[in-house]
Homo-oligomer: A and B are copies of this chain.
Amino acid sequence: MEMSHRSKSFIDIHERAKSDLKEIMLIPDDYRIMFLQGGASSQFSMVPLNLYVNKKADYAETGSFAKKALKEAARYGEVTVIASSADKNYSYIPKLDASSFSKDADYAHITYNNTIYGTRFSSAPDTGGIPLVTDMSSCILSEPCDVSKFSLIYAGAQKNVGPAGLTIVIIKKELIGHALDITPAMFNYALHDENDSMYNTPPTFAIYFAGLVFKWAKDFGGLKALGALNREKSSLLYDCLDNSALFKPTAQKDSRSIMNITFVTGDKDKDAKFVKEATQAGLVNIKGHRSVGGMRASVYNAMPLEGVKKLVDFIKKFETENK
């Protein structure tokens, strides 16, 4: 942790982490990988500040973070909300095709996985040529991803990658170097590109840790194997919930996240009882976000199949006891 970021030892760690991530995600050569700070929330500003040319962007509003992202972009240009699932409390992913997007938008933005609402895009929509930007904070490394369909992917590290405080940016080279004049130096992708994410001291320990996770993911069999495991984990839960008379998932079937499984009983007291008893049984952090209520099982890469099986058993037991 005291290692200088300019030392050969750390530069090797940094390079290895980048090349392993490139390998796992099959990132094409015309993309740059950056290890930054400030979380997805900083990207909410950096994206418009760096990508605006006509100062026009399309945003899909699929949850709280999508809303925060578009609100920030609207401070610097004209944002078109091309689709929203606010009408049904963000319980689904709107259908998007080339006709959904503005012809003159500088980029289009989607939140790939919506942590709070338990929904996810199952593939990159066809934007008709507009650069596609996506927040993958809560689903990066969860399943195979065709990077070439996106012009910019960003993700906070704290779900599937490593300790909080590291932000991954995967950006097509051609998008770098067009920042608005008002962009703070540290919010300019070009500065980080020129300095290979080493303009100032990077979060060295978090990068080291992320590198270990990339190596682990590679040894595990890459995103194909992780995707298979995550589909198995989430299917176990969804099947159990779909067959339950007491519980039901909140996300629509075709929009379900494989990382965050949100469900309710429909009765607040029963939800609270479930959360309490689950916690007592060692199944912690199961309470849903206040925007949805009920329960949320986050089954990120670090959650083993065994953990999901225990939750399924507990759900069945609870249902029997609370008919």
> Chain A residues in contact with chain B, CB under 8 A?
1-2, 4-5, 7, 37-42, 44-46, 49, 72, 76, 156, 158, 162-166, 182, 184-187, 199-206, 209, 285, 302
Contact = CB atoms under 8 A, between A and B. Distances in A.
Contacts of A1: 162-163, 209
B39 A201 contact: yes
B38 A186 contact: yes
Each complex incorporates copies of this chain amounting to 2
A156 B187 contact: no
B45 A185 contact: yes
B4 A186 contact: no
Contacts of A206: 163, 165, 203, 205
19 contacts: A1-B209, A37-B38, A37-B203, A38-B186, A39-B186, A41-B185, A41-B186, A44-B186, A45-B186, A49-B184, A72-B184, A156-B201, A164-B202, A164-B205, A165-B165, A165-B202, A165-B204, A184-B187, A205-B205
Contacts of A187: 45, 184, 187
A284 to B, nearest CB: 9
A51 B41 CA distance: 22
